[in-house]
């Protein structure tokens, strides 16, 4: 039985009372949190296999990155001047080179993405892409926890849609019983734009049958609503509701152009949530901004995601909380319309809730999985102000994260990855990157 006690730290519990404990302690046994408290109730160090004095550190639940495409680290920096939230920008910067991608490109790229996420304090992420099997393998190597939504892109090809669904079902079957930290979902890429009405109905039926969620892009590009308005006189959200989509668990990324009626659809759906990707939104140049305040006031779960790092270009969830806070204040014309505490909740427990994992992760509470991070409060950017949430969100950085545990396993130890050295992961990625882009160039030359 492996047991650990961390003491002397400032604990940001993100529990239902949002308790912050000075001189706090947390213990975990066999991967689960066994106790949380302050100095007066601290158990004896001798009762544990290891006892760590974390004085000067902030200890909190790991971040949940609610939307990304980890293999797309291959495209980082390659989308300058393109709006990735329009079909045209996506086709130019991503889809065209993506056609040269092979399964062997995916592993080293996802390895690097997982390393970067761990190094900035993310312990769980929500992934959607093709090559789901290869992605799941890489996540397994990293030790991270992730929802992997099998990406389905049909683009008018019915036969392809059928084949993809068969593969997606095989993926659900395999991953359900694999016993790892990967949770399989389905990922219709962009409803109606590249997934037909029939395919969407089938995806909903399969998700319901397997009890898994649907992770998709919604109201991200102007085409989403244009397409359904032209066809049915409905917004994409309303069309999806008409087609029964919201009977399943729905986790929708972006949601830039939601009407009041669309927000009401999210609010009355049994399990609908939004992944707000503020940096990707700003970088796309799109005028629409996700109505985070209205969604939250309507009772909708809003989580925070980085989106792919061609659109962002960073996995830093602390930076992403900051941008989300700034953008919401700007949109509403109200200073800090979302508090720092709430931004932290969105990046942790609300992310867990969006993925149906709120009983398992997202806060420091006994019984939950020990997904824990420690941040160096002696690093530049943290003064002695007692409002630790405001310091973290508005002057912190993912680079201040020193330690990460997932399921009680220490995956980052004083900024050193424990399973595999970062330099090795980076070297493999570099080789894969060259091979991929050489293939893209050869394909372009032959066209
Ligand atoms: Zn996306």
- Assess if residue 361 is contained within a domain: no
Give the DSSP letter string of 156-181: T-HHHHHHHHHHHHHHHHHHHTT-SS
Tokens 């998700």 correspond to what residue?
Answer: 207
| pLDDT attached to residue 177 | 86
- Assess if residue 413 is contained within a domain: yes
State the distance from the centre of ligand 1 to the C-alpha of 307, rounded, in angstroms: 5
Q: Work out the pLDDT band at 352, boundaries 50, 70, 90.
A: very high
State the distance from the centre of ligand 1 to the C-alpha of 67, rounded, in angstroms: 6
- Assess if residue 363 is contained within a domain: no
Q: Which of 72, 51, 62 is nearest to 2 (CA)?
A: 51
State the distance from the centre of ligand 1 to the C-alpha of 217, rounded, in angstroms: 6
State the distance from the centre of ligand 1 to the C-alpha of 308, rounded, in angstroms: 6
CA pair distance 381, 389, nearest whole angstrom: 13
The answer to whether residues 263 and 299 belong to one domain is yes
Whichever domain contains 179, its CATH number is 3.20.20.140
Tokens 């016993």 correspond to what residue?
Answer: 179
CA pair distance 95, 87, nearest whole angstrom: 9
pLDDT, one tens digit per residue, over 17-41 is 999 999 999 999 999 999 999 999 9
pLDDT, one tens digit per residue, over 225-259 is 888 999 999 999 999 999 999 999 999 999 999 99
CA pair distance 76, 132, nearest whole angstrom: 20
The answer to whether residues 331 and 250 belong to one domain is yes
| Residues β-bridged to residue 405 | 372, 410
Among the listed ranges 192-196, 200-204, 362-366, which one has the minimum average pLDDT value? 192-196
Residue 8 falls in which region: left (phi positive, over 0), alpha (psi -120 to 50) or beta: left
- Does the pLDDT of residue 427 top 70, yes or no? yes
State the distance from the centre of ligand 1 to the C-alpha of 426, rounded, in angstroms: 24
Longest dimension (CA), the chain: 71
Cis previous bond, 313, omega within 30: yes
State the distance from the centre of ligand 1 to the C-alpha of 277, rounded, in angstroms: 9
State the distance from the centre of ligand 1 to the C-alpha of 188, rounded, in angstroms: 11
- Does the pLDDT of residue 355 top 80, yes or no? yes
- Assess if residue 360 is contained within a domain: no
Report residues near ion ligand 1: CB below 5 Å.
Answer: 307
State the distance from the centre of ligand 1 to the C-alpha of 286, rounded, in angstroms: 15
| Residues β-bridged to residue 68 | 127
* pLDDT averaged over every residue in the chain: 95
State the distance from the centre of ligand 1 to the C-alpha of 386, rounded, in angstroms: 36
**Host H or E run for residue 5:** strand 3-12
- Assess if residue 392 is contained within a domain: yes
Say if CB 304 and CB 324 are below 8 A apart.
yes
CA pair distance 387, 443, nearest whole angstrom: 54
Q: Work out the pLDDT band at 1, boundaries 50, 70, 90.
A: low
pLDDT, one tens digit per residue, over 56-106 is 999 999 999 999 999 999 999 999 999 998 888 988 999 999 999 999 999
Alpha-carbon distances, residue 446 vs 207, 441, 443 (angstroms): 41, 9, 5
Residue 226's SS3 state is: helix
The answer to whether residues 52 and 108 belong to one domain is no
- Does the pLDDT of residue 190 top 80, yes or no? no
State the distance from the centre of ligand 1 to the C-alpha of 284, rounded, in angstroms: 12
pLDDT, one tens digit per residue, over 284-323 is 999 899 999 999 999 999 999 999 999 999 999 999 999 9
- Does the pLDDT of residue 162 top 70, yes or no? yes
| pLDDT attached to residue 333 | 96
Q: Tell me the percentage of the chain whose pLDDT exceeds 70.
A: 100
The answer to whether residues 20 and 136 belong to one domain is no
pLDDT, one tens digit per residue, over 378-417 is 999 999 999 999 999 999 999 999 999 999 999 999 999 9
The answer to whether residues 41 and 117 belong to one domain is no
Question: How confident is the model over 2-26, as a mean pLDDT?
Answer: 97
Residue 134's SS3 state is: helix
The answer to whether residues 123 and 221 belong to one domain is yes
Domain carrying residue 52: 3-62+368-417
Cα radius of gyration rounded to whole Å, the chain: 21
State the distance from the centre of ligand 1 to the C-alpha of 132, rounded, in angstroms: 15
State the distance from the centre of ligand 1 to the C-alpha of 88, rounded, in angstroms: 15
The answer to whether residues 290 and 341 belong to one domain is yes
- Assess if residue 431 is contained within a domain: no
Where is the domain boundary, 322, 354, 386? Answer: 354
Tokens 């068969």 correspond to what residue?
Answer: 166
CB within 8 Å of 390: residues ≥ 6 apart: 340
| pLDDT attached to residue 253 | 96
Question: How confident is the model over 192-208, as a mean pLDDT?
Answer: 89
CA pair distance 68, 125, nearest whole angstrom: 7
Say if CB 364 and CB 15 are below 8 A apart.
yes
**73 is written with which tokens?**
């680290």
- Assess if residue 439 is contained within a domain: no
Q: Could you report how far apart the first and last alpha carbons of the chain are, in Å?
A: 60
The answer to whether residues 295 and 398 belong to one domain is no
Whichever domain contains 33, its CATH number is 2.30.40.10
| pLDDT attached to residue 194 | 77
The answer to whether residues 269 and 122 belong to one domain is yes
The answer to whether residues 152 and 38 belong to one domain is no
- Assess if residue 128 is contained within a domain: yes
Q: Is the pTM of this model over 0.75?
A: yes
State the distance from the centre of ligand 1 to the C-alpha of 337, rounded, in angstroms: 25
State the distance from the centre of ligand 1 to the C-alpha of 47, rounded, in angstroms: 46
**Total domain count for the chain?**
2
The answer to whether residues 348 and 296 belong to one domain is yes
Residue 442's SS3 state is: helix
Say if CB 76 and CB 394 are below 8 A apart.
no
The answer to whether residues 55 and 126 belong to one domain is no
């Amino acid at each position: 039985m492996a047991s650990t006690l961390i003491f002397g730290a400032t604990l940001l519990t993100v529990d239902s009372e949002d308790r912050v404990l000075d001189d706090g302690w947390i213990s975990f046994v066999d991967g689960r949190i066994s106790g949380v408290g302050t100095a007066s109730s601290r158990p004896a160090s001798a009762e544990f296999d290891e006892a760590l004095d974390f004085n000067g550190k902030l200890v909190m639940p790991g971040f949940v990155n609610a939307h990304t495409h980890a293999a797309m680290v291959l495209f980082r920096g390659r989308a300058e001047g393109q709006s990735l939230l329009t079909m045209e920008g996506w086709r130019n910067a991503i889809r065209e080179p993506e056609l040269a991608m092979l399964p062997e490109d995916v592993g080293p790229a996802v390895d690097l993405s997982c390393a970067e996420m761990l190094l900035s304090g993310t312990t769980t992420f929500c992934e959607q892409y093709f090559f789901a099997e290869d992605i799941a393998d890489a996540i397994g190597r990293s030790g991270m926890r992730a929802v992997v939504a099998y990406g389905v892109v049909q683009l008018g090809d019915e036969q392809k849609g059928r084949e993809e669904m068969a593969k997606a079902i095989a993926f659900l079957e395999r991953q359900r019983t694999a016993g790892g930290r990967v949770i399989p979902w389905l990922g219709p890429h962009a409803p109606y734009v590249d997934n037909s009405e029939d395919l969407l109905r089938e995806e909903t039926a399969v998700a319901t049958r397997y009890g898994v969620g649907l992770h998709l892009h919604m109201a991200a590009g102007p085409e989403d609503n244009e397409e359904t308005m032209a066809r049915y006189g409905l917004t994409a959200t309303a069309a999806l509701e008409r087609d029964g989509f919201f009977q399943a668990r729905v986790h929708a990324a972006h949601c830039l152009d939601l009407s009041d009626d669309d927000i009401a659809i999210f609010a009355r759906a049994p399990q609908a949530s939004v992944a707000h990707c503020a940096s990707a939104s700003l970088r796309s140049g799109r005028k629409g901004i996700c109505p985070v305040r209205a969604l939250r006031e309507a009772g909708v779960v809003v989580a925070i995601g980085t989106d792919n790092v061609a659109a962002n270009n960073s996995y830093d969830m602390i930076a992403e909380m900051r941008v989300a806070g700034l953008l919401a204040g700007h949109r509403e014309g109200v200073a800090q319309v979302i508090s720092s505490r709430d931004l932290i909740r969105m990046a942790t427990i609300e992310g867990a809730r969006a993925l149906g994992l709120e009983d398992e992760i997202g806060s420091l509470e006994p019984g939950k999985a020990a997904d824990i991070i420690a941040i160096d409060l002696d690093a530049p950017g943290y003064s002695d102000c007692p409002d630790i949430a405001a310091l973290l969100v508005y002057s912190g950085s993912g680079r201040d994260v020193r330690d990460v545990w997932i399921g009680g396993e220490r995956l980052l130890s004083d900024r050193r990855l424990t399973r595999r050295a970062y330099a090795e992961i980076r070297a493999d990625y570099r080789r894969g990157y060259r091979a991929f882009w050489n293939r893209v160039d050869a394909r372009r030359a032959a066209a």
